[in-house]
Amino acid sequence: MNSTYTWKQLFFFASVFLFAVSLPFAEFMISVSTGLIFVSWLITGHFVQKWEHLKDQPAALLIISIFLVYVIGVIFTNDMKQALYELKKTVFILALPLCISTGPTINYRLFRKIILSFLAALNIATVIAIFRLIFRDQLDIHDIWEILFVSHIGFTFQLLLGVSIIINELYNNSSISRQRRNLLIADALYLIVFLFVLKSLTGLTTFALLLIIHLVFVIWKIKNRKRKAFALITLSMMVLGGVSYLGWCVHRFYDTEQVDLNHLPQKTQSGHIYHHDINDKLLENGHYVGLFVCEEELQKSWEQRSSLGYQDADQNGFPVSSTLIRYLTSKGLTKDSVGMSKLLPEDIVNIEKGIANYIYTQRFMSLYPRIYQTIWELDVYFKTGNPNLKSLAKRIEFEKAAFTVIREHPLFGVGTGNWKQAFDVAYQKNHSQLEPIQYGSSHNQYLNYLAKFGVLGFLWIVFAWVYPLFLTNKHHFYPAVMLLLILGIANFSDSNLEAHMGISFFVFFYSFFLFSETHQPAIDQ
């Protein structure tokens, strides 16, 4: 750095740098870094000039106004404790735009150092994650997302932004050598592959929609008719291929075994009575869970092979008995001593870990198990109406409750802290089977805004998020546009701007892009 910087300015820049490189590694460091940014902003002083500068920054004022919407919503709040918690979660909207827009100016050279350091930190985090994936058995890792240090949804956003930064570097930096260009292309592909390794449906859906948007834009720019037609056909084939794959997954799930319900065997090979629940329509890999069950033999055979009791809970908290029955069904085995005899030692370990279907053991290397799990959740929900402990099914109940709240409070919403009470009432009105301990707000940021602040508050918040991009003329800066699109799409499936990692990631980079020098000054060029 230039030696003309004071230590106070260096402290501020170092805090911003720390925030950027901490994102892939530690959630608690995000709060620490935010605190350091604010402290360093205070230390730099000159508050009169900062106030005058802020008044000349309508983009910053617009973003800060979103926090003020939450503050105004407190007026209508009965549950002050919940309201203060909401303010605490969203304080990033106040602190980061204020500090970055009025603090020491982040020039182009410093901007590039910070953004490329974030990219380096992101790559290091993925390398460590791959190492943890390879040695997952030794590290006792049971789920793919456990290889990360932070929320998998937040990390997928970082991956997508990392790819955007690389694309911007490739497109706008003509001085890059061929060797470095090839390295950046390889890195972008690597980050995309890692996104597929994580198999986050939110991340993959966001990536797919962004890819389609990019291809439509590229096709629109093509002047040659033959090339444009070829590109349109290619895009159509890609979309059709994705839809066809999903259709094949659904067909495979419901491709059920043919069973003559009138001539089912009544006894096991050992002479014990089978229980056939013909009303149980639940499936595992096309086999009916409720058929060919002899719990007497199951319990005896299981307890001969495992130190975990038949009625004990597995590592996911479910009864071993139900996990065992589902696992045997998934392999097409009868739920008796004969079926148990065909299980390998690794199958016993899987069941103890709470893995209810053998295809879930392929989840580290295949996308199908993740899609299968989603289809299974929806199948159980629509057949039983029970959404408990099923992520996607719970989200449907959450959104039903949100629509109920919105219908009753359309203009101004229920206020900042009243949403919990309002949602509790909505679940009761909807006769939801969701257990009270599972109650929550909508996993949809837009529905959350509508429920809390009504249509008027929602429209203002969306305007205050989007318009600063044009006020600062950063709608020409590719990573900033991509950041807004990434969160804009992902917010349909999660309330990212009210979650710690989501809001800190977005507000930091949005403020960083809007209020820093993102292009090389002409005099330097």
Q: Is residue 163 part of a domain?
A: no
> Residue 346: pLDDT band by 50, 70, 90 thresholds?
very high
The stretch 96-103 carries a mean pLDDT of 94
- Residues 359-372 pLDDT 10s: 888 765 578 888 88
User: Residue 21: is its pLDDT beyond 90?
Assistant: yes
Residue 170 lies in a domain: no
State the burial class of residue 271 (Cβ atoms within 10 Å of its Cβ: 0-12, 13-18, 19+): exposed
Residue 340, classified by CB atoms within 10 Å of its CB into exposed (0-12), middle (13-18) or buried (19+), is buried
The proportion of the chain whose per-residue pLDDT surpasses 70, expressed as a percent, equals 98
Q: What is the pLDDT of residues 474-491, one digit of tens each?
A: 999 999 999 999 999 999
Q: Which two tokens stand for residue 122?
A: 């992101």
CB 79 within 8 A of CB 422: no
pLDDT at site 443: 86
Long-range contacts, 280-284 (Cβ 8 Å, 24+): 281/383, 282/379, 282/380, 282/383, 282/384, 283/253, 283/254, 283/256, 283/376, 283/379, 284/326, 284/329, 284/330, 284/356, 284/357, 284/376
The amino acid at 198: L
Domain of 266, in residue numbers: 261-362
Which pLDDT score, from 0 to 100, does residue 386 have? Answer: 84
Domain membership flag for residue 186:
no
Whole-angstrom distance, CA of residue 458 vs CA of residue 225? 42
Per-residue pLDDT tens for 503-519?
Answer: 999 999 999 999 999 88
Residue 246: left (phi > 0), alpha (psi -120 to 50), or beta?
alpha
On whether residue 338 sits in a domain, the answer given is: yes
Which pLDDT band holds residue 525 (cuts at 50, 70, 90)?
very low
458 neighbors 446 (Cβ within 8 angstroms)? yes
Percent of all residues in the chain with a pLDDT value above 90, rounded to a whole number: 59
Q: Is the pLDDT of residue 404 over 60?
A: yes
Please state the rounded mean pLDDT for residues 260-281.
89
Structural contact between residues 64 and 93, judged by C-beta atoms closer than 8 angstroms = yes
Q: Residue 523 — pLDDT band, cuts 50, 70, 90?
A: low
Select the highest-mean-pLDDT range: 30-39, 69-78, 137-146, 277-286: 30-39
Q: Decide: residue 376, CB within 10 A, 0-12 exposed, 13-18 middle, 19+ buried.
A: buried
Alpha-carbon Rg for the chain, nearest whole angstrom, is 27
User: Could you tell me if residue 94 is inside a domain?
Assistant: no
> Could you tell me the CA-to-CA distances from 210 to 104, 233, 478 in Å, in that order?
34, 18, 13
Is 70 exceeded by the pLDDT of residue 2?
no
Alpha helices in 177-284 (DSSP H): 178-198, 201-221, 225-254
Report whether pLDDT(1) > 70: no
Q: pLDDT higher for 228 or 462?
A: 462
Q: Is the pLDDT of residue 143 over 80?
A: no
* pLDDT for residue 376 is more than 50: yes
DSSP at 122: H
Q: How many domains does the chain have?
A: 1
Count of CB atoms within 10 A of residue 47's CB?
12
Mean pLDDT of the chain: 90
In the prediction, which pLDDT does 210 show? 92
Residue 345 lies in a domain: yes
Average pLDDT, stretch 211-223? 85
pLDDT tens per residue across span 273-292: 999 998 888 999 999 999 99
* Domain presence at residue 403: no
Residue 204 lies in a domain: no
- For the cut 60, the answer to whether the pLDDT of residue 498 exceeds it is yes
Identity at 416, one-letter amino acid code:
T
* Most confident of the following: 45-49, 122-126, 260-264, 411-415: 122-126
Q: Residue 274 and residue 293: Cα distance in Å, rounded?
A: 5
> What is the average pLDDT across 453-464?
96
